[in-house]
Structure 1
Amino acid sequence: MKNETRDILQTKVMGHRGAALLAPENTLASIRAAADAGATWVEIDVYLIAEGGLIIFHDDTLDRCTNGSGVTREARPTDVAELDAGAWFSDEFSGEKVPTLLDALECIQSLNLGLNLEIKHDSADVENIVPAVMAMLRDHWQDNDKLMISSFNLAALEMCYEIDGLRHLAPLYEDIPTDWQEQLESIEAYSLNCDYSRLTEAQARAVKAAGYKLLCYTANDPKKVAAHWEWGMDAVITDDPTQFAALLIN
C-alpha cells in the first residue's frame, strides 16, 4: 500500500466537486470557491464524452447542471464548450463553462491544491477512458503526492494500476463489500473512500488496522461525522468546506 512510504494527505477536509454548495459543482468557479474557503484538496469528476473528450462532469445527462440536454457520453466537445454550467446555480455564475480535464488540472495546480480525481465510468469499456485520463495526468500533472485517483469502478482502477503502479488509488464504495481488503490489496490502494452514512465503526477500524487511509463522503454537517473521527476517519469530502473551518487551520 502506498501510505507505507509517504503520507500524501495533509488535510482533513476535501472539497466535493470543488465546493458544490458554494458554486456550481465541477466548474473552475467551484474549485476556486473551495480554495477560497481554505480547502487544500478538491475532488472532481472526469467524464468521457464523444470524440474522446474528457470533461469535468458528474451526471449521465446534461440536464441538471447545464442549459443543455441529452446523454453526456454522446455530447461533442464543441457543443459542450458552448453550454452554460453556472446559471442553474445562480445568476452570479451565469456563463460558467464545463471545464475540460486539462482546464481543471491547470486551475488546480495554479492554486496549489491537491486533487482527488474520480473517474466517472459505469461501463465495462474502461479502455476508452482510463488510458486517456492517465496520459493527460502524465503530461499535465506535476506532483504525484498531490494526486489521488478514485472510482466506483474497480476495473478502471485496475487499469490505472497497470499503466502506472505509483499512482495513489482509492476505491469508492457506497456499501463496503466483504472482500474490500482483497480489492484494495490488488491495486496497492492508498485509501478507501466511502459513504459516511453507511460506514460502521467496525468497518472503519478494520480499514485503519489494515493500514489504509479512510475518507468519507459527502459530509456537510460536522455533527454527523463526529464519531467517525474517533473511529479513525482521516478526511471528510464535503460540499461546503466552511462547515469544517476549524479543521482547515494549520
Structure 2
Amino acid sequence: MQLSKVIGHRGAAGLAPENTLASIRAAAEVGVKWVEIDVYPIAQGGLVIFHDDTLERCTNGSGLTLDANLETILSLDAGAWFGEAHLGEKVPTLEQALDCIQSLGLGLNLEIKYEGADVEAVVPPILAVLAERWQDNEKLLVSSFNYAALEMCFKVNPLRHLAYLVEEVPSDWLLKLAAIQAYSLNCYYLPLTEEQAVAVKSAGYKLLCYTANEPDLVAQHWEWGMDAVITDDPRQFMHLEH
C-alpha cells in the first residue's frame, strides 16, 4: 500500500464543498496524495458521494438522503452553501468520483456510509463499481463504521485493503481487525490513548486518525506511531510529506 501521511477529509472539506469533485481537486492542488470520501447508497440502487443522512446541510434539497433517487440528487446544488464560487457544484456519483481521483493520480480511502443491516444488498454493488472502475488496489482503502459491511467486503473480495472505522477504540478491536484481515484501524484522534496506539501498531496494523485540522492536536500521535492524519485542511500538514 502506498499510503501517505496526509489524507484530505471528504476531499478537502475546509477548502471546497465536501464530497464534491471541487473538493477532490482542491486537495490535489495543495499537494495531497490521498483523499477520503463517503459513498452513500440511495433509493433504487444509486451510489453517490455524500455524508449526511439528510440533504439539508450540504445541498439545497431536503429530506432523507436514503429516500432520494439519483435524478433528484444529481439536480441539487451542493456548492452554494460553501460560497458563491461553488454555485452549481453537483453531488457526484461514485463513478464520477473514482474517475476524477484517478485522473489526478490520487489514492482513495472510500468510506461506506451505511448504518443499516442489509449489507448484502448494499456492499456488492459498491464493490462491483470499484472492480470495474478502480485500477490500482494498492491505492485504495475501503473503510466503514459498519463492521458487517466490512465483513461483506472481505467475503466478496478478500484482497481489498480494509479499515475498521471507530470513534473510540473498542475492547474487541484486535479480534475484529484479524477477522477481516484489516489493513488499518481508523479512529477519532481525541479519545485515543498512547497505550491503544502502541497496541494497534504492535499488532501490525496501520493507525489512521481523523479529523484533526491543526498539527498541534496530533503532535503526540505521531510519536505514538500514527501513520496518517485525515484532515479538512491538508495545507496545515503538507510539510510532513517532504
TM-score by length of 1: 0.96
**Pick aligned residue for 2:105 from 100, 105, 112:** 112
CA contact (8 A) 2:3 2:107 kept: no
1:14 aligns with 7
**Partner residue of 1:156 out of 149, 154, 178:** 149
Cα distance in 2, alignment partners of residues 41 and 71 from structure 1? 29
Q: Distance in 2 between matches of 1:147 and 1:15?
A: 14
Q: Which residue does the alignment assign to 1:84?
A: 77
Structure 2 residue runs without a partner (length 5+): none
TM-score norm. by structure 2 comes to 0.99
Q: 1:245, CA displacement in angstroms?
A: 1.9
Does 2:173 match 1:143? no
Distance in structure 2 (CA, Å) of the matches to 1:129 and 1:36: 33
8 A contact 2:3–2:139 mirrored in 1 = no
Rounded Cα–Cα distance in structure 1 between residues aligned with 2:193 and 2:12: 26
Structure-2 separation of matches of 1:18 and 1:202: 31
- Deviation track 1:160-186 (CA, whole Å, cap 9, x = no partner) reads 000000000000010111010000000
Aligned partner of 1:128 in structure 2 is 121
Moved over 6 A (4+): none
Matched, 1:179 2:175: no
Find the partner of 2:197 among 187, 191, 204: 204
Query: What is the SS of the residue equivalent to 2:40?
Result: strand
CA distance in 1, matches of 2:114, 2:215: 30
Structure 1 residue 247: Cα displacement: 1.2
Match of 1:191 in 2: 184
State which of 86, 89, 93 in structure 1 corresponds to 2:86. Answer: 93
- SS of 1:70's equivalent? coil
Amino acid at match of 1:132: P
RMSD between superposed Cα atoms in Å: 0.6
Percentage identity across aligned positions? Answer: 67
Distance 1:248 1:136 in 2: 31
Q: Which amino acid aligns with 1:186?
A: A
Name the SS of the counterpart of 1:192 in structure 2: strand
Amino acid in structure 2 at the alignment position of 1:224: L
SS in 1 for 2:190: helix
Distance (Å, rounded) in 2 between the aligned partners of 1:155 and 1:9: 26
Name the CA distance, whole Å, in 2 between partners of 1:183 and 1:75: 33
> Shift of the alpha carbon at 1:89?
0.3
Measured after TM superposition, the shift of residue 248 of structure 1 is: 2.7
Could you tell me which residue of structure 1 aligns to residue 237 of structure 2? 244
Structure 1 residue 9: Cα displacement? 3.6
- 1:18 CA displacement: 0.2
For 2:33, the aligned partner's letter is T
Which secondary structure does the structure 2 equivalent of 1:85 belong to?
coil
Deviation at 1:235, TM superposition (A): 0.4
Is 1:57 aligned to residue 39 of structure 2? no
Hey, what's the Cα distance between the residues in 2 that align with 1:66 and 1:185?
39
2:18 corresponds in structure 1 to: 25
Residue 4 (structure 1) aligns with: none
Partners of 2:2 and 2:235 in 1: how far apart?
19
Tell me if structure 1 keeps the 8 A contact 2:19–2:37: yes
Structure 1, unpaired ranges of 5+: 1-7
1:38 corresponds, among 31, 35, 39, to: 31
Q: Give the equivalent residue in structure 2 for 1:5.
A: none
Q: In 2, Cα distance between the equivalents of 1:101 and 1:248? A: 28
Q: AA paired with 1:188?
A: Q
